[in-house]
Amino acid sequence: MKTRHAALVAAILACGSLAGCGAPPEEALTPGPDASTVDVASVSDPAPYYDLGLGLLQNVEAEDGNSLVSPVSLARPLALLATGAEGATRTQIEDVLGVAVDGTLETELKGLADGWSADGDTFSLADSLWVNETFEPAEQFIANAQNDFGAEVYDRAFDDATLGEINGWVDERTHGMIDSILERIDPSYALYVIDACAFEGGWETPYEEGTVEEATFTSEDGTEARVDMMYEQEASGYLENAQCTGFMKPYAGGRYAFVALLPKEGTSVSELLAETSGSELAELVRMGSQGTVNTGLPKFDGSYDMDLSGTLQRLGITDAFDPQLANFSGISPERLCVGEAVQKTFIEVNEEGTKAGAATEVGIEETSMAPDLEEPHEVVLDRPFAYLIVDVTANVPLFMGTVGSID
């Protein structure tokens, strides 16, 4: 029996002031429900979200030590696919997610999305399911996509017109930060699952003109670059554990924050990531400030295009990509497997705030330290570091990245 493929696309968030662009698709076959105003979602255990981000960062190919991934943008389409998977295929996806997809995770993800929507325009997130008009997925899978993930469902011919629609949808939902996710659309694919998000936040305390000075950033190989370093004293932003020192700088409103982690001297960023667990990161963010800190944050930006197929298989999702072993019988009795998984990301950090964006595409085809209150700590990011953009209220990482060099 011929095996058909499906594609999963997740688009990452963006932080900063951006204008939307790109035409949205025409009316969806079945629109997702409007997000309702709800209280902040309760996350029973944030560690799996951090573990997913750590796993991605350790397995993607960093460009000169620079990388950026979105755990949230990948977790949602993976969780949706898991609702249509059975047997080992489902178990492997759940193992990478770090939690069973048994209704609890779906409720948690929906609660987070609704809370972000109700909180305003700082962080927005949307999902869509693009179904080949020659393919008929199970009604329950479509219901899961709509009810649990708020997905818009489109029934389309997989041609160039639909390719333009998909890329336009991603462009609009990421506020122009990711202008496309697909270079071509495969007419043999059964469906594409896409998650898109955009984060637009200014600093709670923007950097003033006199606080930006030229400084030297030294890469791990000793290469030096002149950068614009933004200096400031955070009255309650110091972070420290056994592997690193760092600081937390809040965005306006206080719900989101930029978290910078500088490895201890003699430790590389890759060693920091390997030696840090999701639970340790979650605890570091939960504890928050450990004192006053004088900080130095370089201005930087970057865009990344990552093929996650190999990364996900190295993390343990192998059967889903194998035409002989994949079991997506909850989507269709036809033989389905994942054909591709891609994530595109973008970030810009400057005096006003941060812009970050990402898109992930998966195709399925037929086949602590005590605070020092006397002297401020100092954390100047003049060498390679790791960083996060987090929802500190729910303790969930929206983005996780590394900076190894700055042009």
User: Over the stretch 210-230, which tens digit does the pLDDT of each residue have?
Assistant: 999 999 999 999 999 999 999
Give every strand in the sheet of 293-298, ordered side by side.
212-218, 224-234, 293-298, 377-380
Q: For the residues 66-88, what does the mean pLDDT come to? A: 94
Same domain, 263 and 117: no
pTM: 0.88
Please check whether residue 46 lies inside any domain of the structure: yes
pLDDT at 63 over 80: no
List C-alpha distances in Å: 190 to 3, 8, 325, 367. 10, 11, 17, 10
Same domain, 105 and 227: no
Please check whether residue 405 lies inside any domain of the structure: no
Same domain, 264 and 182: no
Please check whether residue 135 lies inside any domain of the structure: yes
Q: What is the pLDDT of residue 387?
A: 97
Same domain, 282 and 257: yes
Least confident of 245-259, 281-295, 326-340, 365-379: 365-379
Same domain, 76 and 221: no
Residues 6+ apart with CB under 8 A from 125: 13, 72, 73, 76, 113, 116, 117, 195, 196, 197, 198
Q: What is the pLDDT of residue 13?
A: 24
Nearest-CA neighbor of 316 among 91, 100, 101, 72?
A: 91
Least confident of 29-43, 158-172, 258-272, 291-305: 29-43
Q: For the residues 142-158, what does the mean pLDDT come to? A: 94
Please check whether residue 284 lies inside any domain of the structure: yes
Least confident of 81-95, 113-127, 289-303, 376-390: 113-127
Q: What is the pLDDT of residue 272?
A: 96
Q: For the residues 293-313, what does the mean pLDDT come to? A: 93
CA distance 206 to 233: 12
- In which domain, by residue range, is 255 found? 209-297+371-400
Q: Please, which pLDDT band fits residue 10 given cuts at 50, 70 and 90?
A: very low
Q: Is 221 exposed, middle or buried (0-12, 13-18, 19+ CB in 10 A)?
A: exposed
Nearest-CA neighbor of 263 among 386, 169, 178?
A: 386
Least confident of 61-75, 255-269, 324-338: 61-75
Nearest-CA neighbor of 175 among 348, 403, 376?
A: 348
Please check whether residue 186 lies inside any domain of the structure: yes
DSSP tag of 346? E
pLDDT at 352 over 50: yes
Same domain, 379 and 349: no
Same domain, 115 and 217: no
Please check whether residue 45 lies inside any domain of the structure: yes
Q: For the residues 133-148, what does the mean pLDDT come to? A: 95
Strand partners, 396: 391
Same domain, 293 and 304: no
Tokens encoding 242: 């056994």
Average pLDDT of the chain is 86
pLDDT at 373 over 60: no
pLDDT at 26 over 70: no
pLDDT at 256 over 50: yes
* Complete DSSP assignment for 104-155: HHHHHHHHHHHHHHHT-SSEEEEEEEEEETT----HHHHHHHHHHH--EEEE
Q: What is the pLDDT of residue 117?
A: 85
Share of the chain above pLDDT 70, in %: 86
User: Which segments of 180-267 are extended strands (E)?
Assistant: 189-202, 212-218, 224-234, 238-240, 244-250, 256-263
Please check whether residue 406 lies inside any domain of the structure: no
197, 11 contact by CB (below 8 A):
yes
Please check whether residue 280 lies inside any domain of the structure: yes
Decide: helix, strand or coil at residue 389.
strand
193, 6 contact by CB (below 8 A):
yes
Residue 302 or residue 356, greater confidence:
302
List C-alpha distances in Å: 121 to 118, 205, 397. 8, 19, 18
Cα-to-chain-centroid distance, residue 319: 23
Domain count, the chain: 2
pLDDT in tens, 104-116: 899 999 899 888 8
45: domain CATH number?
3.30.497.10
214: domain CATH number?
2.30.39.10
Same domain, 277 and 151: no
pLDDT at 30 over 60: no
Same domain, 134 and 271: no
269, 263 contact by CB (below 8 A):
yes
Same domain, 89 and 149: yes
pLDDT at 2 over 60: no
pLDDT at 301 over 60: yes
Q: What is the pLDDT of residue 64?
A: 84
Q: For the residues 142-162, what does the mean pLDDT come to? A: 95
353, 203 contact by CB (below 8 A):
yes
Q: What is the pLDDT of residue 297?
A: 97
Same domain, 327 and 382: no
Q: What is the pLDDT of residue 35?
A: 34
